[in-house]
Amino acid sequence: MKVGFQFFMMIDVNMRKLIFVKNQIRTMYSKISLVSILILFLACKNKSGTTEPTGEEPSSQWLLGFEKAEKIQ
Residue type at 35 in one-letter notation: V
> Closer CB to another protein, residue 34 or residue 70?
70
Q: Tell me how many degrees the CA angle 56-62-63 measures, rounded to the nearest 5.
A: 85
38 binds another protein per the rule CB under 8 A: no
Rounded Cα distance, 73 and 70, in Å: 9
8 near another protein (CB under 8 A): yes
Residue ranges in contact with another protein by CB under 8 A: 5, 8-9, 11-13, 15-16, 19-20, 23-24, 27, 31, 48-54, 58-59, 61-73
